[in-house]
Chains A and B, each alone.
Chain A
Amino acid sequence: MIKDAETLRNKYLRDAMFPTIFCDGCGIGNVLQYTLWAIDNLGLDMDRTVFVSGIGCSSRLPGYIKADGLHTTHGRALAFATGVKVANPDLTVIVFTGDGDCAGIGGNHFIHAIRRNIDITVIAVNNFTYGMTGGQVAPTTPIGSITTTTPYGSAEPPFDMSEMAKVIGAPYVARWPVTYPYQPIKSIEAGVQKRGFAFVELFAPCPTAYGRRNKLRNIEQAWQWYRDHVILLDDYERIQRFGSAEEKRSLVGKLKIGVFQDVEKRSFTDALEEQIASLRVDKPEPERQAA
């Protein structure tokens, strides 16, 4: 097993793509690193793995990985990924998307890819903003945040992608901040192994576009912000049920993290393949005994 980042880089990344486009302190590099650890732990065949993305900072990730990659149009990664997976169900498909890409312009595809239960793993990098265009309000921006298009503070309630994925019925849903290095790796592993739609949302700091307008430009402060503002699902539910009034007040503004859902469900791809096998006129002959 690989023990250090340099070996990981040499094994999985394209040299010609360095230096990266990412700013100092950006959390997307962490997401890439955790993904590569998970891939290495699983021993995934990189000749048979396709990375699909939309548009935005996080959607640049497939370009760095030595594998088939499809960097598509804004919001449409899941539509393209559906085509890849349905056309060739033997491929492992991993989608990188951002909060704007997935919950904003791509919201409809997000809903329907989950509903169909396409067998893909979606790693959604949530940095609360449209980073590539310089930091505008996103569907996930916390209320009150200053962005270039909410100079007086955002009045829009944010969208919770993981709750959404859970409610629509994604068989695997987990959320972690990148400040937790171990759990994201385990969740990506679990997601890739899940036969069906897996959604792993990772909170990642954006010091340049979001942070500097919201007192989170300093990366240590940003990492501390996540530690102060996340709460494990179990703790959240325990306090909701049994907590004191004071404890309940402490939940306001907290972001739930953990494994939101982990169930078994028949994937669309499996169901479709079975249906096709029963309908095709050139049904393969019954398996012959080996001579």
Chain B
Amino acid sequence: MDTNLVRQVLGQKVQFIHGDMACVYGALLAGCNFFAGYPITPATEVAEGMSELLPKLGGRYIQMEDEIASMGAIIGASWTGAKAMTSTSGPGFSLMQENIGYAVMSEAPCVIVNVQRSGPSTGQPTLPAQGDMMQARWGTHGDHEIIMLYPYSVQEALEMTITAFNLAEKYRTPVLLFIDAELGHMQEKVVIPEDDEFEVCYRQTVTVSKEEYQAFRPGNNAHPDRLVPEFAPFGSGYRTYVTGLTHNEAGLPRTNSPEIHDRMIRRLCEKILANRADMTFFKESYADDCDIALVAYGITARACEDAVAEARERGIKVGMLRLITIWPFPEDLIQQWARKVRLMVVPEMNLGQMIHPIREAVAGQCRVVPLNKIGGEVHTPGEILEGMVRAIEREREREPAAA
């Protein structure tokens, strides 16, 4: 899609929009030309924005009968070569899980926006929560890796949606883009980037002849060691058979071969894990001058920024690590931080989800303390500061020698 045309449709370079709309803008700049969705608070505005803007750019919008169908439709569209996206929130995200697994298995690039709201079940539809972190990782059945990005501002939502498409295309995998309900409905200034300020990636199209073509053979003529296969869209004459069953390199079902299953699933995981450096995004502050760390993500990190500023004024040597890439989990990064601090505080709008992989990575090198809040309100900076101070005091009591 011509990015100049996209900018023309988006209008002024500097705008005041909400997070849901920022996902729309980012998707269009990334070349999204197909959207299927189903209304759900607080993600409906993504679908609304798409329904208005996509046709102007020649793209196709369709409202499906449910989230299962939305997820199916974007995978079908992806196999025709489209850059496809859907958006939803908790209950719909639950419904999408089986077909997200199909996108993993069939290596169909696509982007799923989840504007996180409170659950389980219908929960608090209009209020934020961060309860889907583990569902994002393990929601679909079976061994797999997943990419998930979690921006914390409207500007970053726009930029990370572009990145989500780029990663989906490069690694031929579904990419999850999470924002908080709070951000989805919050208006902020955005600056629409120029072409030289962002990259737009496309899946590697087929380079071999039809006779040589094997739909799921990794690599290509230029890069035989790549773990991602070449892509021949439906209708190109390459006649690709796609199945969610375990399949060989030709794409044909081979469900009784332990070797083929093992080889295939390990490659699907490895194509992501081997490229962590290309997909790990984070922000640090006072990284080289701290003995306490706040590790946060999403909207919670915004409250943390204020808490850090206040704490530093009080002489507390706290640094902050904000995770933008949630999955694959940046273990090395957490380990680096664990080596330099004595205490890690993890505020989350759930009863403790990301604290588990954090503790696993820390492996006892420092104390890790949760700071959980549920009920539909974002942590205030004061609550984070207080929680942090409490944790410091408790730690002093436990280890008087260290103080």
Contact = CB atoms under 8 A, between A and B. Distances in A.
A47 B240 CA distance: 10
Interface in B6-44: 8-9, 33-34, 36
Contacts of A14: 241, 252
Contacts of A81: 76
Given A83-B84, A86-B62, A70 B76 contact: yes
Interface string A74-112: 001011111111111011000000000000000011011
Interface string A125-151: 000000000000000000000000000
A70 B71 CA distance: 14
A1 interface: no
A280 B72 CA distance: 26
Nearest to A111: B65
A186 interface: no
A68 B235 contact: yes
Interface string A260-289: 000000000000100110011110000000
B32 to A, nearest CB: 12
Given A80-B73, A281-B9, A282-B5, A88 B235 contact: yes
Contacts of A84: 76-77, 79-80, 234
A87 B68 CA distance: 18
Interface residues of A, number: 43
A80 B252 CA distance: 19
Interface string B71-90: 11111111111101000000
B191 interface: no
Contact of B73 (A62, A79, A91, A280): A79
Contacts of A281: 5, 8-9, 56-57
A87 B60 contact: yes
Contact of A47 (B8, B84, B239): B239
A63 B36 contact: no
A91 B68 CA distance: 23
Interface stretch (B243-251, B266-274, B297-305, B366-374): B243-251
B171 interface: no
A154 interface: no
Contacts of A72: 72, 75-76, 99, 102, 244
A87 B244 contact: no
Contacts of B235: 47-48, 50, 68, 88, 90-91
B58 interface: yes
Interface of A: 14, 16-17, 46-48, 50, 52, 62-63, 66-73, 76, 78-88, 90-91, 108-109, 111-112, 272, 275-276, 279-282
Given A76-B69, A88-B234, 10 more contacts: A47-B239, A70-B79, A72-B75, A83-B73, A83-B74, A85-B76, A86-B60, A275-B55, A281-B57, A282-B57
Interface of B: 2, 5, 8-9, 33-34, 36, 55-60, 62, 64-66, 68-82, 84, 98-99, 102, 234-245, 250, 252-253
18 contacts: A63-B243, A69-B241, A69-B243, A70-B234, A72-B75, A73-B98, A76-B99, A79-B65, A80-B76, A83-B36, A84-B76, A86-B62, A87-B33, A112-B64, A272-B60, A276-B59, A276-B60, A282-B57
